[in-house]
Amino acid sequence: MNASTPSAEAQLVFLTKIQRLFAEGDFTATYKFALLMTLADLAVELGADDDAALPLSNRQIAERFIHLYWRHAVPYGTGRLGAEPGVLIQNAGTQAAVLTAIASFRAASRANPVQQARADPSYQALLGKVATVVSAQPLNYLQNFGGITDPFLYDRVAPGRVLLRPGVAYCLRRFYPLVQQLCRIHWIDHIKGNRRNHGILGDAGDLEDFLFSISRQSLAIIGAELLKLDGPKCFYCGQGLQDAEVDHFVPFSLYARDVAHNFVLAHAACNRSKSDSLASSQHLERWLERLTSYSSQLDEIGFTAGVPTSRATAHRVAAWGYGNAQSVDARAWVRASLYELVDDRHTDLLAAA
C-alpha cells in the first residue's frame, strides 16, 4: 500500500465508527443520512486516493441537499390504491425545514427540473436557507453517537466551511457503495417508521425509486434526446435500436448519483448483460471521446431533463471507479459472457483524457 494512504487498521476503525454512528446515533430527521451521502459523493468527485484532508463549503453541501430533497417536496402516493397523496414527513416533529423551503421555492418559481431552478433569481436565497439549516443541524449533530461527540469525519474550521479529516475522503471513496446503501436503507426505514406517513405510503412498493432514482419523466427526456444525439444504435454493440434503454455507463450501483454525461443508450439485452459491471477498455475509449465531442450537447440534455451536468465530474467518477476496480482485480464487461481484467489500459485511457 502507498505510504500516503490510510492503513488497513485505520480503514477498519473508520468502518467501525460508521457502523456505530448508525447503531448509536439519534436520527430524528433524515438530514444525517443526506449529509453522509453528500460527503461520500463529494469525496468521490473532489477527493483523491490518499490521506489528504478535503475542504468543503456549507453551500456545496447545501446544493446537494437541494438535489436530494427536490423530488421529495412533491406529493408521493398519487394514483396508489389505498393511499392518500401527500408530501412525506421526514422529521419527528414538524416537517423538515429543507423540504418546506424547497416546496415554497417550487410554488413561487414554478421551476420543475432542479437544473432549471438554478437560473431563477431566488435560487441563491433558497441555497442560503438550506446552508443555514445544514450548518445548524446535521453538521452539528452527525458525529454525536454513544453519548459523546466523536469528530472522526470532519472539523468545522471556519464559518461556512468544514474539513474532512485526513484519510476520511479516501475511506468514503473506498467504501462508497456500502455507505450509500446504509444511508438509503436507514432513510427508507425512517420514513416508513413515521406514523404520519402511513396513510401516504400504502404498500410503498416504489418508495426507494421515488426517493433516490431519476424520475420517469426525466429518463424519458434523456432517452429521446440521446436518440437524437447518437442516433438509433446501441452504444455498446453498435447495432440498430428499436426499444432503447438508458444506461449508466459507470453503474448506478457503483456511483449512486445521476449525471447527464454518464448516460448512454443501449439494447435491453446489452444493458441486462452489462448490469452492474464497468465497461471494457474499447467501450471506455469511445465514451471518453464522446465526453469531449458532445460535452455541450450533454449539458443541454441535462438542463432540459433536470439532471446534473458536468463532464469533469463524469470523468473523475470514472477514474475513481476504474481505479478501485483495478485495485481488487475486478473484471470489465466486453459483451455477453465475455469480460476482461481492469488494468493499466483502462486507467491510462482515463489519465490521458
The helix/strand/coil state of 332 is strand
Say whether pLDDT at 203 is over 80.
Answer: no
Cβ neighbour number for residue 67 with a 10 Å cutoff: 19
CA atoms within 13 A on the CB side of 28: 11
Q: Which residues pair with 345 in a beta bridge?
A: none
Domain boundaries, the chain: 8-212, 216-352
Q: What's the grid cell of residue 237? A: 454493440
Report the Cα 154 to chain-centroid distance in Å. 20
Dump pLDDT digits (tens) for 218-262. 999 999 999 999 999 999 999 999 889 999 999 999 999 999 999
Task: Judge whether 88 and 200 are in contact, CB under 8 Å.
Answer: yes
Q: Which of 12-21, 103-112, 316-325 has the least mean pLDDT?
A: 103-112
Q: According to the model, what pLDDT value does residue 2 have?
A: 47
Q: Which residues pair with 333 in a beta bridge?
A: 279, 339
Quote the percentage of the chain above a pLDDT of 90. Answer: 88
Cβ neighbour number for residue 204 with a 10 Å cutoff: 19
C-alpha angle 280-281-282 in degrees, rounded to nearest 5: 95
Residue 250, CA distances (Å) to 120, 162, 276, 317 in order: 31, 29, 8, 8
Task: Judge whether 151 and 162 are in contact, CB under 8 Å.
Answer: no
Say whether pLDDT at 130 is over 70.
Answer: yes
Q: What's the grid cell of residue 155? A: 472539523
Quote the percentage of the chain above a pLDDT of 70. Answer: 97
At residue 332, what is the residue type?
A
The helix/strand/coil state of 247 is strand
Helices (H), ranges, 306-338: 311-327
Please list, in sequence order, all residues whose beta carbon lies within 8 angstroms of the beta carbon of residue 29, skipping any fewer than 6 positions away: 90, 91, 92, 96, 137
Instruction: State which H helix or E strand residue 140 sits in.
Output: helix 138-141
Instruction: State which H helix or E strand residue 31 sits in.
Output: helix 31-46
Task: Judge whether 200 and 86 are in contact, CB under 8 Å.
Answer: yes
User: Across the chain, what does the average pLDDT equal?
Assistant: 94
Q: According to the model, what pLDDT value does residue 315 have?
A: 98
Report the Cα 93 to chain-centroid distance in Å. 27
The helix/strand/coil state of 18 is helix
DSSP of 148-171: EE--SSEEEEETTEEEEPTTHHHH
Dump pLDDT digits (tens) for 152-190. 999 999 999 999 999 999 999 999 999 999 999 999 999
Say whether pLDDT at 263 is over 80.
Answer: yes
